[in-house]
Structure 1
Amino acid sequence: MALLNKIKFLKNPFLRRVSLLVGGTAIGQFISIISLPILTRLYSPEAFSNLAVYVSVLSLLTAVSCMRLEIAIPLPKSHKIAAALCILSIVSTILFSLLITIIILCFPDLFRILTDNKIQKIIWLIPLGVLAVGIYNALQYWSTRNKKFKLISKTRITQSIGGNSIKLGSGILFNGSVIGLILGQFLSQSIGFINLGLSLIKNDWNIFKKLKLYHFKVALKRYDKFPKYSTLEAFANIGSIQIPILIIASYYMSSETGYLMIAMQILAIPMTLIGGAVSQVYLADAAQYFHQGKLKQFTLRTIINLSKISFLPLLFTALISPFAIPYILGDEWQRTGTLISWMVPWFFMQFITSPISMSLHITGNQKLAFFLQIFGLTIRVGLVMFALKFDDSHIGEYYALSGFIFYLIYQCTILSIINKK
């Protein structure tokens, strides 16, 4: 944590905030990286395929659990309106989790069919995971609004240590049982909201105590586009990534899903390490630049800087992965190395596009963002279904190509919009 304290001396506020988030995320990612070669030897590709199904289902549900009101928390000038949005997000998550619990109790076969019976033994982790992750997301955006990036950074370290410890311990004690792998994933995604919640109670509770019905009405009226358009947009966005995974897992290629998951996990490291941090800080600052009429310059500068730091490392990763992955993860993970090479163009475009995607919300283009995500869902599911029918031995390659096409079109649209604004 001494590194995090030194970062305070950075003069550029944007870089300082990014660095604070990157510092904690880097430690968390380092723990995950050193754990991965052990995990791939403790658990089979089929176990990771089951984990991929759980992650896909949980990601789809948590994307809409807050009705996307959490995204609006950093935007209002009034702290009370922002606090109302935070409360509404948490209440939405609680109600949504209860609804999922009722569906599981009343229609137990529904999730079994959707997940091809791969996670039936731990189905109770679905509503619990939605509840924990949804509350964490709401509190994280409240902390983002208040520039508490060091606190967010600490929670990410806690998540990584807790999640990977459970995965490693369960793999050793229970001979690679997939239940331990999924329990660790649940912990790594959800733990951390306690610290954020305690910080809110300690430092910001006076704001929440003064809330009245008026503030909730204003919040819902002013930011009604988020539930109307952004909820479906978020579902389509996550769905474009996770629904193809569920489709592949439901067919005979169970190992392919595991290979895909590990490839995506490795390439997501720079996204999580830097892209996620830049995205949060971009959202915290972009509203101010928009009001000043400088959003275009700020966005272009962000894209250029992200391109500079990502192009060469990702190119090197594409070239070396087919040869290095079998040595790092084990011989049975050769396919993962090949998929990483194919996925590099997709993740490069995602790395430089995702952090600036919030500009569509800031400029009031939630409807356009929704249609873009529907397009992404269509093209990605469409290419996977095409591969299943005509070239199933290269289904991972088709999946990677669809991601590149989508983010290329997404970025061109964003640049067109902010240029007009």
Structure 2
Amino acid sequence: MVKSLLDKFNAKLNAQGSLIKSISLLVGGTAGAQLLLIIMTPLLTRLYLPSDFGLLAAFVSLLAFFTVISSARYELAIHLPEKIEETVAVTVLSFIFLVLTTSISVICILLFAEPISVLLKVPHLASYLWLLPFAVFFVGLYQICNAWYVRQKQYKDIAGTKVLQSIVTVLIQLSAFKLATFGLLVGQTLGQGAGSLKLSLKSIKNTKEFRSVQFHQIKTVAKRYKSFPIYSTWTGLFNTASLQLAPLIFLSLFGATVAGLYALTLKLVSLPISLVGQAIGSVFLSEAPKAHREGRLNKLVLQFNKKLVQVGCFPIAILIVSGPELFAFIFGEQWYKAGEYAQWLAPWVFLQLQWTPLSNLTVVLELQKEALISQILTFFARFGALFYAIGYEMSADHAIQLFAVVSAIVYFIRMFWFLNKAQTDLKQVFINNITYILFSMSVLMLFKLFFLR
């Protein structure tokens, strides 16, 4: 009798702890990978010019437009089927579309590399764009493999590949600095390839279902999840456009140096937080479909949101209170302005941290239409801010500030809209945000007042 009760108690503890263990695995791997990149960034900023980072930003922006639709968004549906045969069929379908998209990217680069470079006012960018199709394939393959491993709850493998990607990226960029911009681009491309190839080879080798999938199964899942290419593709494109047009426009208007400062600042501010959010989002997506079927999705959403606020409150508060001084101390006095940009970007990044994992609600609740509408509104809000900056000939500083403020507002509106769709306690979400961020800022301001005078 006593043994039976103890077994039940242990089982309950293990069930409660599995979520924390899953998050810890992915967050640990992601944090380690990003910590390596952050540690090496001060060295990279001394080996490469800001204009090199500006061209890297342009390359990444163009890459994003292809990779967001590389699998026709079918990779998002990998998490949904209950049967392994259907999951395999969706995975294979995603790969078929990836091959097609990669082929299209080759044609686009052959035809439009020169016109794109001239439009962006950086003619020498054309000589590097042949790398783009390789990057499209590697990033798209990683997205598919990541979804497959999340579906199988193999978080340790995902965490390992993230560390591998960072190591390969950093080693190549450090060793190829004499190649200037090309060193950054080839490091970015091959870093992605290292992780995607490792995951894909292991999954094919260990899963016999991939070798027995049939065409009619692929056709069935393509029809069952057709809302993903019909709606989510456009959602992804508008989301990418609203984010990636900014560095391209800054590059064209203010030159590669300003674009590089903006892009590197946004990367430094958002990567450690947003990628931890993506790791948590992978766990959320693996848990949410079951929670939805059992009628406890709203509680799960509130639980995850609170954890995300707790993760992000102190880093964001540090940026708001001491962003310029921090950047100047780490990267040199010439990066003080970048620290000011970081202060303006901080609220946007804090909301992005919360929304990135929970945006998977649109997948779980199959709200593709609503997601598309919200993304179109986001696109026009951000694009409107950029056109306003162009029309009134705003300085680079004011244009970046305006874009950051508008981005924070639209993230706030979208997050609360979809949390409401999940019947989440919005009042508690708001209280959690205000309480934790004010507490963090108060502690840091007192510390700065009494210990850093």
* TM bucket, shorter chain: over 0.9
How do 1:40-59 residues align onto structure 2 when only pairs under 5 Å count?
Answer: 40-59=45-64
Q: How much has 1:272 moved relative to structure 2?
A: 4.1
Question: TM-score with structure 2 length normalisation?
Answer: 0.87
Asked if structure 1 preserves the Cα contact closer than 8 Å seen for 2:273 and 2:312, the reply is no
Q: How many residues are matched?
A: 409
Which of 395, 404, 407 is matched with 1:400 structurally?
A: 404
Q: 1:414 to 1:302 in 2, by over 3 A?
A: same
Distance 1:273 1:252 in 2: 29
Residue number in structure 1 paired with 2:447: none
Opposite residue 281 of structure 1, the aligned amino acid is V
Which of 260, 274, 279 is matched with 2:281 structurally?
A: 279
Opposite residue 168 of structure 1, the aligned amino acid is L
Residue number in structure 2 paired with 1:4: none
* 3-state SS of 2:254 partner: coil
Distance 2:305 2:95 in 1: 33
Residue number in structure 2 paired with 1:123: 129
Q: How much has 1:201 moved relative to structure 2?
A: 2.0
Opposite residue 174 of structure 2, the aligned amino acid is L
Residue number in structure 2 paired with 1:221: 223
Q: 1:113 to 1:78 in 2, by over 3 A?
A: farther
Residue number in structure 2 paired with 1:344: 346
Residue number in structure 2 paired with 1:16: 21
Greater mean alpha carbon deviation, residues 362-371 or residues 115-124: 115-124
How do 1:330-369 residues align onto structure 2 when only pairs under 5 Å count?
Answer: 330-369=332-371
Is there any run of 5+ residues in structure 2 with no aligned partner, and where? 1-13, 425-453
Opposite residue 235 of structure 2, the aligned amino acid is E
Q: How much has 1:108 moved relative to structure 2?
A: 4.1
2:331 is equivalent to residue 329 of structure 1: yes
Runs of 4+ aligned residues of structure 1 deviating over 6 Å after TM superposition are none
Residue number in structure 2 paired with 1:38: 43
Q: How much has 1:115 moved relative to structure 2?
A: 4.1
Q: How much has 1:364 moved relative to structure 2?
A: 1.6
Q: How much has 1:238 moved relative to structure 2?
A: 1.6
How do 1:133-172 residues align onto structure 2 when only pairs under 5 Å count?
Answer: 133-171=139-177
Distance 1:64 1:318 in 2: 35
Distance 1:108 1:349 in 2: 35
Residue number in structure 2 paired with 1:194: 197
Deviations 1:155-207 (A, max 9, x none): 11110000011111112x44xx1110111111223321121112212321x21
Residue number in structure 2 paired with 1:181: 184
Which of 68, 77, 91 is matched with 1:72 structurally?
A: 77
Opposite residue 229 of structure 1, the aligned amino acid is Y
Residue number in structure 1 paired with 2:114: 109
Opposite residue 122 of structure 1, the aligned amino acid is Y
* 3-state SS of 1:315 partner: helix
Which of 386, 389, 392 is matched with 2:388 structurally?
A: 386
Deviations 1:351-406 (A, max 9, x none): 11111111112112101101111111111111122122322241111111121011
Residue number in structure 2 paired with 1:83: 88
Residue number in structure 2 paired with 1:6: none
Opposite residue 171 of structure 2, the aligned amino acid is S
Distance 1:178 1:159 in 2: 19
Is there any run of 5+ residues in structure 1 with no aligned partner, and where? 1-8
- Percent identity over the alignment is 31
Question: TM-score with structure 1 length normalisation?
Answer: 0.93
Residue number in structure 1 paired with 2:320: 318
Asked if structure 1 preserves the Cα contact closer than 8 Å seen for 2:274 and 2:356, the reply is no
Asked if structure 1 preserves the Cα contact closer than 8 Å seen for 2:142 and 2:195, the reply is yes
Highest CA radius of gyration, 1 or 2? 2
Aligned-pair RMSD on alpha carbons?
A: 1.8
Asked if structure 1 preserves the Cα contact closer than 8 Å seen for 2:114 and 2:126, the reply is no
Greater mean alpha carbon deviation, residues 307-316 or residues 366-375: 307-316
Q: How much has 1:118 moved relative to structure 2?
A: 5.1
Q: How much has 1:136 moved relative to structure 2?
A: 1.3
Asked if structure 2 preserves the Cα contact closer than 8 Å seen for 1:323 and 1:337, the reply is yes
Residue number in structure 2 paired with 1:418: 422
* 3-state SS of 2:188 partner: helix
Asked if structure 1 preserves the Cα contact closer than 8 Å seen for 2:113 and 2:126, the reply is no
Asked if structure 2 preserves the Cα contact closer than 8 Å seen for 1:339 and 1:397, the reply is yes
Opposite residue 194 of structure 2, the aligned amino acid is I
Distance 2:119 2:284 in 1: 36
